[in-house]
Amino acid sequence: MELQTNELLQKMPVLYSTEEIPTEDKIIVCKFFLLNGGWTWYVVEGEEREDGYYLFYGLVDGTEREWGYFTLHELESVSWQGIPGIERDLTFAPVKVSECRELRPKSNDSHYVDPAQGKKQSQDTFFAETNCQRCGKELKVRIMSKMNEDVICPECAEAEKKHPLYEVAGRAELAEVKAGNYNYPGLFAGQKYPFDSK
């Protein structure tokens, strides 16, 4: 089975095109799963890179749940004795993250992680933060800064968008991700907000 089809490509939002949409309202376009169980990839964005590989952004549900980048090549390379190890769920219909039944907590799941709470940082650090690293407010929703590794609240994320170098930081992150650096710490890594805009 082909994991990626022309029809799917036409439905797939390009990388960063859903950035302004709250995580819980993002649409999961397709779902890939490991045949012997345990791992599932829920795709919300994707586009072809200059090297010919197709790069996806979505929720990876494996040993932990986290938002991140992965390539079609990585998925296609999983096999056992020449048999593909990952397939696309042909019965899966596009659905909002918040409405995806598979992502709801099970009654006995004490380690459930809400998929609408995360973005691009490892869960160990991202979900450990209880307060916004900029304003100190208690975090009910966590957002990863586009400019550095701060875990911030929605209000600080909105304020960050007004920074004069926000677009530059976004382009730098996109270039790094397209080059294969999925753990890019941001244009202002290690610096405190507000950053020097000179």
Question: Alpha-carbon Rg of the chain, whole angstroms?
Answer: 17
What's the pLDDT score for residue 123? Answer: 43
Q: How many CB atoms lie within 10 A of CB 181?
A: 12
Instruction: List pLDDT tens digits, range 97-127.
Output: 988 888 765 444 444 455 555 444 444 466 6
**Poorest-pLDDT segment among 28-32, 80-84, 114-118:** 114-118
Cβ atoms of 58 and 28 closer than 8 Å: yes
Instruction: List pLDDT tens digits, range 124-137.
Output: 466 677 899 999 99
Name the pLDDT band for 90 (thresholds 50, 70, 90): confident
Cβ atoms of 37 and 75 closer than 8 Å: no
CA distance 30 to 93: 7
What's the pLDDT score for residue 117? Answer: 54
Q: Which residues contact 163 (CB under 8 A, 6 or more apart)?
A: 147, 169, 194, 195, 197
Q: How many CB atoms lie within 10 A of CB 163?
A: 17
Question: Which residue, chain included where needed, has tokens 């960063």?
Answer: 16
Compare 24 and 195 and report the one with higher pLDDT.
Answer: 24
Instruction: List pLDDT tens digits, range 34-69.
Output: 887 778 999 999 998 887 788 999 999 887 788 888
What's the pLDDT score for residue 190? Answer: 86
Sign of the CA dihedral running 146, 54, 6, 4? negative
**Poorest-pLDDT segment among 43-47, 119-123, 159-163, 170-174:** 119-123
Domain ranges within the chain, ordered by starting residue:
1-100, 118-191
Cβ atoms of 40 and 64 closer than 8 Å: no
pTM of the entire predicted model: 0.57
Residue count of the chain: 198
Mean pLDDT of the chain: 80
Query: Within the chain, what is the greatest distance between any pair of CA atoms?
Result: 56
Compare 83 and 106 and report the one with higher pLDDT.
Answer: 83
Cβ atoms of 152 and 176 closer than 8 Å: no
